[in-house]
């Protein structure tokens, strides 16, 4: 008697499920770490490129960086007084609102900076939203010369 089995046996199904489980066990841990890495990278990009460029353009027009009191909102809001309002060429950001860091917090701007005494400090408070070791700033580590994540 000839058997034309067109389906999979139970052993074959179990084998396929086991192979899929092994593959998932190998790839899922690698993918989970990428989310945090992507957020850190996005914060660095905002700090080192987007916001820094906008602050530099503001400084070129106005002659100085925004004060700590004005903060980053000076990049999107025209000053009220006559002389400053005449030379302000903003908004200096494409969007009319300030970006938030990847964790939904406001970027912190300090001028004059404590780490960059001749410029400004710009940083994200990181995932915990508080000053801690996971913060991402625009100053260089004096030992490595790289932008510091503290």
Q: What is the CA radius of gyration of the chain?
A: 25
Instruction: Determine the longest span between alpha carbons in the chain, in angstroms.
Output: 100
Q: Determine the Cα–Cα distance for residues 150 and 145; give it in Å rounded to an integer.
A: 14
Q: What is the pLDDT of residue 30?
A: 62
Give the CATH number, domain containing residue 77: 3.30.700.10
User: What are 4-45's pLDDT values in tens digits?
Assistant: 667 778 777 777 877 787 777 766 666 666 778 888 888 998
**Any domain includes 22:** no
Q: CA 63, 68, 76: angle at the middle one, nearest 5? A: 65
Name the helix (H) or strand (E) containing 28.
helix 10-45
**Any domain includes 6:** no
User: What are 45-103's pLDDT values in tens digits?
Assistant: 889 888 999 999 999 999 999 999 999 999 999 988 788 889 999 899 887 788 899 99
Q: 2: pLDDT confidence band, cut at 50, 70 and 90?
A: low
Per the structure, the count of domains in the chain is 1
Range of the domain at 118: 38-149
Q: Determine the Cα–Cα distance for residues 91 and 88; give it in Å rounded to an integer.
A: 8
Q: Is 88 exposed, middle or buried (0-12, 13-18, 19+ CB in 10 A)?
A: middle
**Whether residue 117 has pLDDT greater than 70:** yes
**Any domain includes 19:** no
More confident residue, 91 or 141: 91
**Any domain includes 131:** yes
Q: Is 90 exposed, middle or buried (0-12, 13-18, 19+ CB in 10 A)?
A: middle
Q: CA 68, 38, 132: angle at the middle one, nearest 5? A: 45
């Amino acid at each position: 008697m000839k058997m034309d089995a067109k389906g999979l046996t139970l052993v074959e199904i179990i084998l396929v499920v086991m192979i899929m489980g092994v593959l998932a066990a190998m790839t899922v841990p690698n993918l989970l770490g990428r989310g945090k890495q992507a957020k850190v990278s996005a914060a660095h990009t905002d700090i080192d490129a987007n916001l820094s460029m906008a602050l530099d353009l503001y400084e070129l027009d106005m002659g100085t960086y925004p004060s700590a009191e004005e903060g980053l909102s000076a990049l999107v809001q025209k000053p009220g007084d006559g002389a400053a309002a005449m030379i302000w060429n903003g908004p200096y950001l494409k969007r009319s609102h300030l970006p938030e860091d990847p964790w939904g917090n406001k970027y912190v701007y300090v001028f004059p900076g404590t780490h960059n005494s001749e410029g400004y400090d710009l940083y994200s408070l990181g995932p915990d939203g508080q000053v801690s070791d996971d913060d991402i700033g625009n100053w260089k580590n004096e030992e490595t010369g790289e932008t510091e994540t503290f």
